[in-house]
Amino acid sequence: MKRLMLVGATGLVGSHVLQQALAHPGVTEVVAPTRKPLTPQPRLVNPLVDFERLPHDADWWQVDAVVCTLGTTIRKAGSQAAFYKVDHDHPVEVAYLARRHGARAYALNSALGADANSRIFYTRTKGETERDLQAVGYSSLTLVRPGLIAGNRQESRPAEQLAVKLSRLVQPLLPRRYRVVPAERIAYHLLHAALVATPGVHVLPSDALL
């Protein structure tokens, strides 16, 4: 029985993790810090936070494992610097704070092609996040790298939605690593990794999520 922290609970993948975690018999409580309140549910602790000013000594940091699904787009963030804060700085700070309070497992929703040496800003950011998380000291770290994600987002991402539709049309012809991955499948693997907490650093490529 584990106490789980979920950051990014309002996003597409995060909302599925929240649903699955609250229904999981091995989860005693889900701590989901958010900027806006979630719908109250049994076993859900929902501290309201500003991710720019996270409290360092709150009792709710005391969890066994963390699932991070934080992520945005440069268009929504407004700049590369703002994007970097959401996709790199916040996940790494959460990792340090939860680890300091005893968390032993961390599972990140990263991205296909994540590479700290990439010339592409997006994949380089994801790669730097993965690299810096490995320095935090978790006994179990899982990096999940989906490609295109299928699901009903609350926010509009027209380019992504078009790419998903086109990919589905040619799905049988695509290599497995480039196929569309349902959000609930990503959520399942993130939750499973956090709860099982297999020692070491584990990378789950997109084709493994299908």
pLDDT tens sequence across 47-90: 999 999 999 999 999 999 999 999 999 999 999 999 999 999 99
Q: Comparing 104-108, 127-131, 178-182, which segment has the lowest mean pLDDT?
A: 178-182
Judge: domain 2-209, CATH 3.40.50.300.
no
pLDDT at 19 over 50: yes
Question: In the chain, where are the structural domains located?
Answer: 2-209
184-210 mean pLDDT: 95
pLDDT digits (tens, 9 = 90+) for 136-163: 999 999 999 998 887 555 555 565 555 4
In the annotation, is 85 catalytic?
A: no
The 3-state secondary structure of the chain, one letter per residue: CEEEEEECCCCHHHHHHHHHHHHCCCEEEEECCECCCCCCCCCEECCECCCCCCCCCCHHHCCCEEEECCCCCHHHHCCHHHHHHHHHHHHHHHHHHHHHCCCCEEEEECCCCCCCCCCCHHHHHHHHHHHHHHCCCCCEEEEEECCCEECCCCCCCHHHHHHHHHHHHCHHHCCHHHCCEEHHHHHHHHHHHHHHCCCEEEEEEHHHHC
Catalytic hit among 126, 138, 178, 188 = 126
Mean pLDDT, the chain, rounded, equals: 90
Catalytic hit among 122, 138, 165, 178 = 122
Instruction: Give the model's pLDDT for residue 161.
Output: 57
Query: What is the band of 176 on the pLDDT scale with cuts at 50, 70, 90?
Result: low
**pTM for this predicted structure:** 0.88
In the annotation, is 122 catalytic?
A: yes
